Each structure stands twice: as C-alpha cells, then as structure tokens.
Amino acid sequence: MATLTTVTVPVPRSDKGEATRAAIATAAQALFLERGYDKTTMRAVAERAGVSLGNAYYYFGSKEHLIQAFYDRIQVEHTAAAEAALAHETTFAGRLRGTLTAWVDVAEPYHHFAGKFFKVAAEPASPLSPFSPESAPAREASVALMARVVDGADLKVPATVRGELPELLWLAQMGVVLFWVHDSSEGRRRTRQLVDRAVPLVDRLVRLTRLPGVRGAADDIVALVRSLRA
Amino acid sequence: MATLTTVTVPVPRSDKGEATRAAIATAAQALFLERGYDKTTMRAVAERAGVSLGNAYYYFGSKEHLIQAFYDRIQVEHTAAAEAALAHETTFAGRLRGTLTAWVDVAEPYHHFAGKFFKVAAEPASPLSPFSPESAPAREASVALMARVVDGADLKVPATVRGELPELLWLAQMGVVLFWVHDSSEGRRRTRQLVDRAVPLVDRLVRLTRLPGVRGAADDIVALVRSLRA
DNA sequence: CCCCTCCTTTGAACGCGTTCAACTTGGTGG
DNA sequence: CCACCAAGTTGAACGCGTTCAAAGGAGGGG
C-alpha cells in the first residue's frame, strides 16, 4: 500500500527481458491511444504484446505503472519542441510562451485520457506524482528546461529571484497542466488563451521584483519556497 | 463515462429512502475512518448499513460517491471552526490565518486517506472535482467563508481586487490542501508552518496592490481570472 | 550429460466494484 | 378490497485488476 519503503523496480535484467518489457509498454501506449485508459484491459495489453497476463505484471507492478511511459515521452517531446521555440526567441516572455505553448501542442494527442493520468498522478503515494522521487528525473528535466528559458533571456531581476525562477516557472507550468486537464475546448483553445494572457503578466510580475517595495516580498516568497522544499 | 449530460442524482424520494441513504453514508464514513478507503468494501458498507449490496448502489452511484459526504462534512465543520476564529480576529492576516488553520485542524482526522480523496477529486469528470457543478455548493460556501474573512478585516485595496479576493483566497486554500495532502509530518506540522509563513506574505502582497506600479498588474490578474471563469 | 539456480513465463483463481433482471412493498385510484 | 404503479430492494453474475504456485528455459559447475 502506502509503504515508505523503496518500490521494487521490475527492471529487466537481460536483453530478453528488455525486449518483452518494451513490447508491453508499446502495446499499452497504442491501446491507451486507441481506446483510452479505462477501456484498455491488462488482458488486452498482454495479448497485443504477445505475452501472458501474469507476465505483464512481472514487468509492470500495476496498470498505472504503464502510464509512466507517457510521462517520459511527453517530457522528451516537449523538450525537443521547446528547443525549436527557444532557438529564435530572445525575450523572456517569448521564450516562456513558446515553451508553454510547445507543451500544449505536444500533449494534445493525449488529452482525451489525460484525466486518468492526472487522477493517478494526484495521489501522493503514487510514483507518478510529480513530486515523487520516481518522477525526479522528469521533473528535473522540466525545471532545467525552464532554466534555459530564463538563461537565454533579457531578464534583469535580483539574484535571489532568478535562482528560484526555474522552479517557480515549473510550478506555473503545473498550473497550466491543471487547467489543461479540465479544458474541453477544441484544440485546447482556452489553455492557449491562458498561456497567451498569463505570460505577459508573469513577465511583468517578475520584472516588478526590482521595485524596492516589491523586492522584499519577492525575497520572502523565495525564502518560503526554499523552506518548503526540505 | 465522461459524458457531459447531467448526472442522474439518486436522491431519496421518501422518508424511508432517506433513512436508508443516511444509514449507508454513516456506515461508509465509519468504515473509511476505521480501515481507510481501499480496505473498505462496498459489501462491508452494505452489511454494516443492514442493506443489500445492490441497494447501496441504488443510493450511491459508485464507491467514490460515498466520499462526497466527507467533503460536505469537512466544509460544515470548517465553517463552524472558522467562525470561532473570525469572532475575535480583526486583522486580515489574523482572520486568514485563523481560517486556514481551522481547516487543517478539522481535516486532520481524515488525512490518512486524504490521498484517495484527492485522487478522486483530481479527475476532471468526477463530480468530486472542486471545479465540478456538483461541488458548487461546497465551493460556494468556501468562497463565502473567504468573503467573510475579507469583509470583517481592516483591508484597504482597490475595489477590483477586493471583488475577486475571496475566490483567489479559495484558490490559495486549494493550494494549502494540495500541500497538506502530501504532508506526512506529525500533526501536519509543515502545513501549519506553510500557513504561518504564507499568510503574512499574502497580506503584504494584497496590500501592495495599492502601489501604482503593482496595481496595474493586479488588475490584469483580476481580468485574467475573470476571463477564465467562463 | 546431469543438476542446480535464477530469471522468466504461465494461467487459473481471487476479490471487489458494478450491473441488472426480477421481486417486494407501500400507497393510490377505482 | 383489489389492481396498479413507482419506489425500493435483492443477490447472482460479470469484468477486470491483481496474485501466486507451479512450470519453462538458459547458463554453468561438476
């Protein structure tokens, strides 16, 4: 259940195992896309992968574990798509907007079962929680991407703020994801609108931190975030 | 599944039905508290309530629906507990802190299965989502509570900001809940710390909106929030 | 060539959420 | 008093996630 012990990772120990594992993951992703999460049964996944039901469980501890692959996949695709935007954007707002929009683009094919995604990810004990140790690699990659957004930009802000900015922007991105999950407009029109409208605002807020009166508050926010990370 | 049609509400149509429904809800809450959500079976709930399995489903569309009762319960208890704090707090910070701390107090007994709560609530299609129409009453009650926090306080801010403040504070409370769900410290020490540290900050930020340079940004935030509500 | 060990694979079996067709009950109009 | 109808109630049956004891291989010592 919700034990705190390290999860037994059913990682393959040989080439043969690796192939089987990959076959199962591939079958799962295909079926999830075709029918959605609920209508995809473990039996169907096993059958398409050409293995027995029990064997699927040898490699993936649960049906939910099959979702992790999407996580990683989106993360990788997002980084690639964002790079394209970052290559020709020099302003902070432009870079942030490009990066967030890239995410919306990349994630679109998965939106129809993103709710299930999210549901699973929301459970604190789940390895799929964005805050979990298991998600650390993907999370750090996302934070690193936000660091690139900041680094290549024309941004003049206090060092304290700048240091925490990537992580704060990642949090903002989680907010966008939250909105996106609930967004049923075609092509995620409303999420794109949110990004378009929120980015200039974030840009403005970040720059405001140079104001004497605001800077103190900003430093407090940074201190608070730091204290929470522990 | 995720239809957009109105959910058939299995509300009791007679006194007899009402009693049965209440018995089931009571049994479920007791069992959830005793054993947690996962280990409580629908069969056990039905048995304790003295009804058949199928009958439980006549009143509650799914096991998850049994959770809604907790939602309402916490909301009611929270309002009562917050009133106590609001009765003798006159500053905005004091009132906000008292209200948020009251929530942490009230919710504590349910923390050990709050993850399941949250998991269910996170799914957009779920009636338990805090953004769903079904949750509107509880949500509105919470926003109203925040309105009371603001109204009784010594707060001088632009009218635009003040108008949206209750809803924004409710959102902030959702943030606290998110943190709380992930908080495994004893007595939710860390969540309390978060409240204690974040409240003065919020207080300060809200008051900053009177600064000429900040006010414009604040108005934009308000406009953004308004545009998203649609 | 055999046996031992460890990884891998199997499918039957289990538990639980959920559905449903049939049955009971209680009240109402004739 | 009866027939009728809707509300309420029942438990068997179904589907699916998950578990597990047992069986297959594959390599390596003896």
Q: Return the beta strands (E) in B65-143 as ranges.
A: none
Q: State whether B91 and B196 are in the same domain.
A: yes
CB contact under 8 A, A228 and B190: yes
pLDDT digits (tens, 9 = 90+) for B55-114: 999 999 999 999 888 888 899 999 999 999 999 999 999 999 999 999 999 999 989 888
For residues B45 and B28, is the Cβ–Cβ distance under 8 A?
A: yes
Flag whether B1 is in a domain: no
The answer to whether position A173 is within a domain reads yes
- CA dist B222 and B230 (Å) reads 14
Residues B148 and B189 in one domain: yes
Q: What is the 3-state secondary structure (H, E, C) of chain A?
A: CCCCCCCCCCCCCCHHHHHHHHHHHHHHHHHHHHHCCCCCCHHHHHHHHCCCHHHHHHHCCCCHHHHHHHHHHHHHHHHHHHHHHHHHCCCHHHHHHHHHHHHHHHHHHHHHHHHHHHHHHHCCCCCCCCCCHHHHHHHHHHHHHHHHHHHCCCCCCCHHHHHHHHHHHHHHHHHHHHHHHHCCCHHHHHHHHHHHHHHHHHHHHHHHCCCHHHHHHHHHHHHHHHHHHC
- Please give the pLDDT value at position B120: 78
Are A89 and A36 part of one and the same domain? no
pLDDT, tens digit, for every residue of A23-73?
999 999 999 999 999 999 999 999 999 999 999 999 999 999 998 888 888
A–B interface: beta-carbon pairs under 8 A:
85
CATH number (domain holding residue A139): 1.10.357.10
| Residues B225 and B196 placed together within one structural domain of the fold | yes
Give the domain extent around A17. 13-61
Pair A122, A129: CB distance under 8 Å: yes
Claim to verify: residue A104 and residue A161 sit in the same structural domain = yes
- Region B160-177 average pLDDT: 94
The shortest CB-CB distance from A198 to any of B115, B118, B224 is to B224
**Distance measured from the CA of protein residue B15 to the C1' of nucleotide C27, in angstroms:** 13
B126 with B207, same domain?
yes
- Enter the pTM of the model: 0.87
Residues B28 and B105 in one domain: no
Residues whose C-beta lies under 7 Å from strand C: A 12-14, 16-17, 20, 51-55, 57-59; B 16, 40-43, 53-54, 57, 61-64
Local confidence band at A7 (pLDDT 50, 70, 90 cut-offs): very low
The mean pLDDT value of chain B amounts to 89
Find the CATH number of the domain harbouring B24.
1.10.10.60
Considering the domain architecture, whether residues B41 and B136 belong to the same structural domain is answered as no
Residue B229 has pLDDT above 50, yes or no: yes
Which positions in chain A touch B120 (Cβ < 8 Å)?
A: 119
- Whether residues A20 and A116 share a domain: the answer is no
Looking at the structure, tell me whether residues B31 and B92 fall in a common domain.
Answer: no
Residue B5 lies in a domain: no
Last residue of a domain, one of A21, A43, A61: A61
Question: What's the number of domains chain B is made of?
Answer: 2
Shortest Cα–Cα distance, B16 to chain A (Å): 36
Residues A46 and A64: beta-carbon distance below 8 Å:
no
Does B47 fall in a domain? yes
Please report, rounded to whole angstroms, the spatial distance between the CA atom of protein residue A54 and the C1' atom of nucleotide D23. Answer: 13
Q: Looking at the structure, do residues A173 and A85 belong to the same domain, yes or no?
A: yes
